[in-house]
Structure 1
Amino acid sequence: MSDWARENVSVLTAAASAVALALVFGAVGGIIPSSTLPRASDAVFAAIPHFNAAVSATAIATILLGWRAISRGNVKRHRNFMVTSFALFTAFLGAYLYRLIHVGTTEFVGPEAVYTYLYLPFLAIHILLAIVCVPFVIHALLLAATRPFEDLYHTRHSQVGFVGAVLWLISFAMGIGVYLLLYHLY
């Protein structure tokens, strides 16, 4: 990467985070019209939540394997797992937003008490963690992409990456919990 990118990782993190979150809020808020994207079959839309649950479970595994690799000093393996985790996150987000733009949110059909006291707080925490983890993950990835490995020890890559990975893991796990509540338990 260029020297400019290396010196402006924080600016790039802010810009990339703003774009990513604008896409999410645009889709959630109905600002992105469904006519901008081709429409898939109902079977594809029905499969997306199950696909995303599998992607989330796989991402949890790759994040944990990446963590294990770096704890054992295997930088190349760590990098590969974390890039894979980010690719999985991107696939999840793309599928989620595509379905959201065309179909909207899924209604919780369980009991009102479960909705009020379990589902909504659980969903709110999941969403908050998913939002908060974005700049941490992007910052850690940009630090790694703009520097040779040896230089990462002189940055906050490991601290930022640790926070991002923890938030990411919890968010993915809670996302699977939301999926189970919506599509299997009720």
Structure 2
Amino acid sequence: MDPGVTTTTDPTTDRVRAAVREHALSVSLALSAVALALVFAVALEFVPGGALPRAPDAVLDAIPHVNAAISASAAVVVVAGVALARRGAYDHHRRAMLLATGLFGLFLVLYLYRVALLGPAPFPGPESVYRSVYLPILAVHVTLAVVCVPLVTYVLVLATTHTVAELPDTPHERVGRVAASLWAVTFVLGVVVYAMLYAVY
């Protein structure tokens, strides 16, 4: 195993970690493909809603509002995490980015659960606004979200398989800068989409 990588007392865990470290990009792409396949399977209604237990209507109705709060919080956490990295506070940066990942995971679980049961929320506003404003914003939001998945996954895999001292020799900082910027914009656009669906109209 390469020096500088923390080893465990379990040889199997060490071998897995070393393999992931050596093939970080391939592992990231594979994980991203699985995650995106699951998301699109639910979004395109390949997963029958009847296969899931149904929460009370009050819970389903609350999910968009909870997810908007999660998205806004995650955007703030990502921006704070970038600022912490620039100041060299790498331990706090790591915690912030793991928190952002956890928030994103929670958002995704809630969103996919609701979509599986109820389908995508219809736009309640005028057709002209739907075509000229809402649809382009939604398209950018979804596109950035898809692009972010492999970028964020790659950065996380690098971060979990390398020490802080080793990360400057990897694409972590370069890819992470792009991933964080797109991620924050994605979260903000998610709040905009929510506002157009549930507040403006």
1:10 corresponds in structure 2 to 25
Report percent identity of matched pairs.
Answer: 45
List, as ranges, runs of 4+ consecutive aligned residues in structure 1 with deviation greater than 6 Å. none
Unaligned 5+ runs, structure 2: 1-13
The amino acid of 1:97's aligned partner reads: L
The amino acid of 1:52's aligned partner reads: N
Structure of larger gyration radius? 2
Tell me how many residue pairs correspond in the alignment.
186
What is the alpha-carbon distance in structure 1 between the residues aligned to residue 29 and residue 76 of structure 2? 27
2:86 corresponds in structure 1 to 71
Query: TM-score if structure 1 supplies the norm length?
Result: 0.98
- SS of structure 2 residue aligned to 1:115: helix
Q: How does 1:42-121 map onto structure 2 within 5 Å?
A: 42-121=57-136
What is the alpha-carbon distance in structure 1 between the residues aligned to residue 90 and residue 137 of structure 2? 35
What is the alpha-carbon distance in structure 1 between the residues aligned to residue 110 and residue 84 of structure 2? 29
Aligned residues: CA RMSD: 0.8
What is the alpha-carbon distance in structure 2 between the residues aligned to residue 37 and residue 69 of structure 1? 40
- Are 2:146 and 1:153 equivalent residues in the alignment? no
Q: How does 1:122-161 map onto structure 2 within 5 Å?
A: 122-161=137-176
What is the alpha-carbon distance in structure 2 between the residues aligned to residue 14 and residue 173 of structure 1? 25
TM-superposed CA distance for 1:56, in Å, is: 0.4
The amino acid of 2:154's aligned partner reads: H
What is the alpha-carbon distance in structure 1 between the residues aligned to residue 43 and residue 179 of structure 2? 23
TM-superposed CA distance for 1:34, in Å, is: 1.5
- Are 2:173 and 1:173 equivalent residues in the alignment? no
What is the alpha-carbon distance in structure 2 between the residues aligned to residue 141 and residue 36 of structure 1? 32
TM-superposed CA distance for 1:112, in Å, is: 1.1
